[in-house]
Amino acid sequence: MSKKTPMDRWFFENNDGEFTLMNPHKSSGIYFPLANEEGMMSSITPLLAGDIKTGQNTFLMEPVSVRDLHNSQVSRNFWLNIEGKEVWSAVGNSLVQRTLCFEDDGEEEVKMEAGFLWHRIIRSNSRLGVKSEVTNFVPVNEHKAELMKVTITNNRPEALKFTPTAAVPIYGRSADNLRDHRHVTSLLHRINLDEYGVIVTPTCKRQTVHTFYEYKSCEIIPLE
Per-residue confidence (pLDDT) for residue 150, from 0 to 100: 95
Number of domains in the chain: 1
The yes-or-no verdict on residue 5 having pLDDT over 60 is no
Query: Is 19 part of any domain?
Result: yes
- Stronger pLDDT, 127 or 220, i.e. the higher one: 127
In sequence order, what are the beta bridge partners of 213?
Answer: 200
Query: Is 211 part of any domain?
Result: no
Q: What percent of the chain has pLDDT over 70?
A: 86
* pLDDT tens by residue, 101-113: 777 667 789 999 9
Residue range 187-205: average pLDDT?
Answer: 80
Domain span at 126? 6-169
The yes-or-no verdict on residue 165 having pLDDT over 70 is yes
3-state secondary structure (DSSP) of residue 65: coil
Query: Is 204 part of any domain?
Result: no
Query: Is 92 part of any domain?
Result: yes
The yes-or-no verdict on residue 220 having pLDDT over 80 is no
The yes-or-no verdict on residue 84 having pLDDT over 50 is yes
Residue range 110-127: average pLDDT?
Answer: 93
* Contact indicator for 189, 172 with CB cutoff of 8 Å: yes
Contacts (Cβ under 8 Å, ≥6 apart) of 112? 20, 21, 22, 24, 46, 119, 120, 121, 122
The yes-or-no verdict on residue 8 having pLDDT over 80 is no
CATH number of the domain that 155 lies in? 2.70.98.40
Per-residue confidence (pLDDT) for residue 98, from 0 to 100: 81
Per-residue confidence (pLDDT) for residue 162, from 0 to 100: 93
**CA separation, residue 149 to residues 76, 101, 144, 165, 220 (Å):** 12, 23, 17, 13, 10
Query: Is 197 part of any domain?
Result: no
* Contact indicator for 36, 139 with CB cutoff of 8 Å: yes
Burial 92-128 (b: 16+ CB within 10 A, else e): bbbeebeeebeeeebebebbbbbeebbbbbbbbbeeb
